[in-house]
Structure 1
């Protein structure tokens, strides 16, 4: 997890203190030079209060350094911290008492916990997140805090208990609880129905509006409007109170100010309409935002909460959190796998779509890995647990996706900076509009006060601030459901700008497993030739030998009875069959035995130039035939490359260590536009740099391990097969969980669509604000129209972003 700026400063400060402590311990007491210095563990840090100036720090340093048993003292006035080195632990207990004698207070600093995550509820808009951040930062027990409105999560490094954190959050007007997987699963299963406050407020507003056209007294109409303001405005007023308390200027503050101002000048209908429209807009926004958060909750719900465990006395049902490593799970047909594991007994087909996005079931047998959340479609399985509930592949996917959704994209970071400047400027402008025109004699106070209130409402750029993060959350959630991990908004934006994709050949465009492509007989029939080759190769684990054996098994060709099996290092193998010694290996093996290959040399050259590895089969007298073995193009590769071209990628490039002839043939088969052949692993980096030097944004697709340098060099690193490779999940910018390119075209299309929607949202938000500002000064924009333009624009932006959730 990346450190915040505050944490980095703190780390730097601690380093400086430690370095200066060493200097003090070496020169503050010359007689101590022969003594053994304190261990690093004998240095403690204290928080000091009461210091008025840097000279206070100097006084405290000098005073404490004279105390017996204290080896070093360093006081940092700016940070309000003091580091003390002592000869034994008893000295540390007396330090607060010593400090008190100098007129200050000191308390030992508790070590900060690792950053923890809490689920926050009650936030209505992105400015609520800023209010909570400011409030939490003011607590001395909080080292760093980051709140994300889109995901409803708070990341906080602190020395407090969970109860203290929750109470502190409640002081800001929100609720919080630790974001454990169990809590999130419960939340996903619950459907909380809020009280119909907005409906009640709306009914009171309607009664007041209808009453104004009837004979009922005006005071009763005003009561209806006032009741609508109080009921509908209670929650915004509460949030506004905490925002002001935290010195934050958010939408709630501006809206409450506008509503109260309208009431003060007698515009009760305007005030009530403002409150009701704001409450309605927030309710609709919250419902829409919950839809985007559900994209991750749906992943959480994929895994069962219980598992059937095999024991000596039968079977027991346990919560998945209580299952131990190496327990044996029983999974019946139609059930979901509760935890990651390895099959120990049973055969079945598993639907792995929740993890990899693959549409077709995958056959599994003993020894194969299975993932939590996948569906057992046919046979009953016994599975040994290899990962606990918090460490399963699906749990790590959820964690990585949530982290990704909270990382700010460059566009979002820019908009946040813009909004931070825009809001106070418009706020000051609103105050000036209320005061200067009437003072200059350009109208009545009430008229300009009303326009100033309208300008206050326009001052909060809700739609603009939320335009990017909701689109990013929606796109990353969509990708995760389809077996693709996008590590953050930055990489989502980069994927949308990619012009060229470089593919590693072996294992990416091809299967990575050699297969028999051709059998050429010179004397016997092909079945006899393959039978002899299988007999010789059955005792070898070499990939080429395994390809020959697989070819024979697929065609039900049996091996012969052989003996005296032996390997010929680097050349082949031999065995005695029916009293005759047979060989299988490189053609060069037979040349060395004095057997002429002149009659098949031309054929050998053609096959090798096409990328085949040749296995010659024969005796000491003659060659019986050739078996050509090659890495084959994946079935999905050609379709994927065609779809990538349709998605707008201008150039497909293949990187391979094969010779020119093989590379050319493979390029033609796969449909790539260009290839670099005869590359060493380090040469792939140069190839990527060459593409970049041509002015292209380049993505590199590989397996995430061997291709790590090229993945890091490219503008975007895409790793395949993440479901089985921890390294790929941790290192690449984008991870295709399946071991094929099937989902890559969808990822590129999704990224480009996200970029388009983000641009639409930004322009729509800016144009709406500009139009509202221009209509205020002529007096055309009423208060309720200002609210409608703000909350309406935010809602439209959210709904536009949610289109990414439905993209298939």
Structure 2
């Protein structure tokens, strides 16, 4: 559909895969709808549709299934609570419908007919879900109240049965109907929307059948246990949803804006790019930005998981949601509230949760055939023994009804998305952004990782590694060189000035400073001419001895850039610099090798420098490569039968990132890094690549456990039901119990894991 557009909704009340499946099926059948993606954990639905699609009718269809819905307008996607603010229980859309001609801004709703509200449409309580924000207590929601009412009715029926046995059957039927009526209404609405074999329909058939065969007491108990199971599913789903929503809660509500020499408090969401804000000690930083002045320890644990505060000063980057330590900072805002690192991570994780993994797609297809097959098997169990061998109808109909409940596919269907959603959320909290279940699955099969060098394996900026005093002391060499470089923005000059600041040196005054293109810089210091530049240019001024040249050559062989200092007519010393490996690079690469993953460096840098870094890190090196060469080598590795991940900065490595099975962007959450790759290591730790792969393996192991729980419990109860050991009560536990166990098992992935290496 050439003119297809995309609209996202916040959907309240979803808490299991069955909910998502009903919504998906119903909306997919609407006119003009091309595709639908529903995420239980994120509580969102994305619809691809034509320009003429009636979005109000789509919303009403979802409301008819018992959920509330609100459109996520513009960049509100970044705020998981946005839907809570605009949701109407009837699902009326308070906002733009993504059509220029249908804009509700400034629309007066005071006299508006809310005919699609749940209460007015006759659908109030239809799904039995709590439509209030998930932060409320379980007992305060509609689902909690219904469960409590059903339980109270069941206890009352038992009391009446004990006091007046003759009316006990009627008391249990009444207790059953309190819980069953909303379940049955949901079943009918789901069937009309295209999902006839829903858990609600199977539950309704089983309960009514139990009454018909004079098992009203069990029917009432089964309905109550079903509601308890659904309530537990909702609580578990809420915890999974909160794991990513809690990221958004890190954002402060207010910021101190500096304007015209004055400071005033403003809403953090109103900050514009380029604005200057003041961050006091102990305050949470309200926006992504660059430090204009000040120095402080920044606690980045809420965003990056780093246990130790990071010392940051002028020109360094800070993230929204992190906590300022002991200093006052002035920060220039670099991203609006809807586009800061936290907001983008939340938005991209929500979108990733709507993307189904291969395993999840397979189980979805399997369940489409599995559920009708269970209905057929249950019917055959109920009918064949009485017809074929004259067995008692009541006994075998009872067993058929139990099998109907045992066969419900909820636990099986949720086994994969629950684990994947938990992993995506857990990864995001540690700065590991994975764009969907397919990426998460593939990562666990990676057998080779190709790394870019500059900015990926290394810091991306040179550092002073060696200071050599030939005729003057090392502090003199550094202070004179720094005096010459004062005011320069060249990366090598910044490295020297940074080292001088670190050493606490007092720099001499430099006069008549002048840059010599391609050679170095000169100035007068303390009455003497001073030169600082390349060894070749220095050789034109003074003679370098064989020993001095040998020392400089040795440093060059280590991949270091060497500049020499001449004071007067004497070679005073030299300074060597190199873009050093990241602090965790060696440990991170070892973590990959320890699990049998091959590592290779692909870089456009010169062979000597690349080989020196490669030797230091203990990895294979391919150097002096063009972007197309990197792409070719990735292809060669794949042809060797390896599953290849490419780690780079997402810009000059784009061809190789695209060619790899998984492209991983390394960096601080830039737009390019987040948008171009399959995954992103937001906080620049090489060790996080190994952690990402380990997370994938833990997730796939969790999925296998979930499938075993789901199918294993069903198999056990199927056998015990047929041989007459268990009945309807254990049957419903086999379904809702397995669903709760699977969800709780998946939530274990939210717990912090031991870091790789």
TM-score range, shorter chain: 0.7 to 0.9
Aligned to 1:222: 169
In structure 2, the CA distance between the partners of 1:301 and 1:757, relative to structure 1 (3 Å rule), is: same
Pairing 1:516-555 to 2, within 5 Å after superposition: 516-538=464-486, 540-555=488-503
Q: Is the 8 A contact 1:700 1:711 kept in 2?
A: yes
Q: Is the 8 A contact 1:640 1:744 kept in 2?
A: yes
Pairing 1:468-483 to 2, within 5 Å after superposition: 468-483=416-431
Aligned equivalent of 2:640, options 688, 694, 704: 694
Q: CA deviation at 1:499?
A: 2.6
Q: CA deviation at 1:428?
A: 2.5
Q: Is the 8 A contact 2:557 2:609 kept in 1?
A: yes
SS in 2 for 1:440: helix
Are positions 1:153 and 2:100 aligned together? Answer: no
Aligned to 1:733: 678
CA distance in 2, matches of 1:744, 1:790: 38
Pairing 1:281-360 to 2, within 5 Å after superposition: 281-310=229-258, 317-324=265-272, 328-343=276-291, 346-360=294-308
What RMSD over aligned residues (CA atoms) do the two structures have, in Å? 3.0
Aligned equivalent of 2:628, options 673, 682, 688: 682
Q: CA deviation at 1:518?
A: 1.8
Post-superposition CA distance 1:320-344 (Å, at most 9, x none): 4455555554443322233344555
Q: CA deviation at 1:282?
A: 0.9
Aligned to 1:269: 217
Post-superposition CA distance 1:559-583 (Å, at most 9, x none): 4444443333323233344565443
Q: CA deviation at 1:413?
A: 0.7
SS in 2 for 1:524: coil
Aligned to 2:661: 715
Q: CA deviation at 1:475?
A: 0.8
Unaligned regions of 5+ residues in structure 2, if any? Answer: 86-132
Aligned to 2:16: 125
Aligned to 2:363: 415
Q: CA deviation at 1:346?
A: 4.8
Are positions 1:758 and 2:703 aligned together? Answer: yes
CA distance in 1, matches of 2:346, 2:159: 51
Provide TM-score, normalisation by structure 1: 0.79
Are positions 1:140 and 2:31 aligned together? Answer: yes
Pairing 1:419-458 to 2, within 5 Å after superposition: 419-458=367-406
Pairing 1:601-750 to 2, within 5 Å after superposition: 601-618=549-566, 623-645=571-593, 648-657=595-604, 662-670=609-617, 672-723=618-669, 725-750=670-695
Q: Is the 8 A contact 1:185 1:300 kept in 2?
A: no
CA distance in 1, matches of 2:288, 2:361: 38
Aligned length in residues:
694
CA distance in 1, matches of 2:37, 2:564: 66
CA distance in 2, matches of 1:310, 1:574: 40
CA distance in 2, matches of 1:669, 1:322: 47
Aligned equivalent of 1:790, options 722, 727, 735: 735
In structure 2, the CA distance between the partners of 1:131 and 1:332, relative to structure 1 (3 Å rule), is: same
Aligned to 2:62: 169
Q: Is the 8 A contact 1:304 1:338 kept in 2?
A: yes
Pairing 1:362-441 to 2, within 5 Å after superposition: 362-365=310-313, 368-441=316-389
SS in 1 for 2:346: helix
Q: CA deviation at 1:730?
A: 0.8
CA distance in 2, matches of 1:305, 1:593: 61
CA distance in 1, matches of 2:435, 2:484: 49
Q: Which moved more, 1:176-185 or 1:400-409?
A: 176-185
CA distance in 1, matches of 2:569, 2:598: 52
CA distance in 2, matches of 1:227, 1:375: 57
SS in 2 for 1:722: coil
In structure 2, the CA distance between the partners of 1:613 and 1:388, relative to structure 1 (3 Å rule), is: closer
Are positions 1:574 and 2:522 aligned together? Answer: yes
CA distance in 1, matches of 2:649, 2:302: 21
SS in 1 for 2:47: strand
In structure 2, the CA distance between the partners of 1:120 and 1:286, relative to structure 1 (3 Å rule), is: same
Pairing 1:58-137 to 2, within 5 Å after superposition: 114-123=5-14, 125-137=16-28
- Between structure 1 and structure 2, the one with the greater Rg is 1
Q: CA deviation at 1:410?
A: 0.8
Aligned to 2:119: none
Q: CA deviation at 1:291?
A: 0.6
In structure 2, the CA distance between the partners of 1:476 and 1:283, relative to structure 1 (3 Å rule), is: same
In structure 2, the CA distance between the partners of 1:763 and 1:307, relative to structure 1 (3 Å rule), is: same
Q: Is the 8 A contact 1:185 1:301 kept in 2?
A: no
In structure 2, the CA distance between the partners of 1:293 and 1:515, relative to structure 1 (3 Å rule), is: same
SS in 1 for 2:459: strand
Provide TM-score, normalisation by structure 2: 0.84
Q: Which moved more, 1:542-551 or 1:712-721?
A: 542-551
CA distance in 2, matches of 1:343, 1:616: 33
In structure 2, the CA distance between the partners of 1:250 and 1:323, relative to structure 1 (3 Å rule), is: same
Q: CA deviation at 1:721?
A: 1.6
Q: CA deviation at 1:317?
A: 4.5
Aligned equivalent of 2:154, options 189, 205, 208: 205
CA distance in 1, matches of 2:277, 2:493: 36
CA distance in 2, matches of 1:606, 1:117: 60
CA distance in 2, matches of 1:535, 1:603: 24
CA distance in 2, matches of 1:604, 1:367: 32
CA distance in 2, matches of 1:405, 1:524: 62
In structure 2, the CA distance between the partners of 1:343 and 1:754, relative to structure 1 (3 Å rule), is: same
Q: CA deviation at 1:733?
A: 1.7
Q: CA deviation at 1:524?
A: 2.8
SS in 2 for 1:743: helix
Post-superposition CA distance 1:56-80 (Å, at most 9, x none): xxxxxxxxxxxxxxxxxxxxxxxxx
CA distance in 2, matches of 1:551, 1:437: 88
In structure 2, the CA distance between the partners of 1:367 and 1:162, relative to structure 1 (3 Å rule), is: farther
Pairing 1:593-608 to 2, within 5 Å after superposition: 595=543, 597-608=545-556
CA distance in 2, matches of 1:480, 1:403: 13
In structure 2, the CA distance between the partners of 1:160 and 1:345, relative to structure 1 (3 Å rule), is: farther
CA distance in 2, matches of 1:437, 1:609: 86
In structure 2, the CA distance between the partners of 1:694 and 1:643, relative to structure 1 (3 Å rule), is: same
In structure 2, the CA distance between the partners of 1:305 and 1:693, relative to structure 1 (3 Å rule), is: same
Q: CA deviation at 1:774?
A: 3.6
Q: CA deviation at 1:605?
A: 2.6
In structure 2, the CA distance between the partners of 1:322 and 1:566, relative to structure 1 (3 Å rule), is: closer
Post-superposition CA distance 1:473-526 (Å, at most 9, x none): 111111111122111111111222223322222222222222222223332333
In structure 2, the CA distance between the partners of 1:337 and 1:612, relative to structure 1 (3 Å rule), is: closer
In structure 2, the CA distance between the partners of 1:173 and 1:314, relative to structure 1 (3 Å rule), is: same
CA distance in 1, matches of 2:479, 2:222: 86
Aligned to 1:107: none
Q: Is the 8 A contact 1:485 1:735 kept in 2?
A: yes
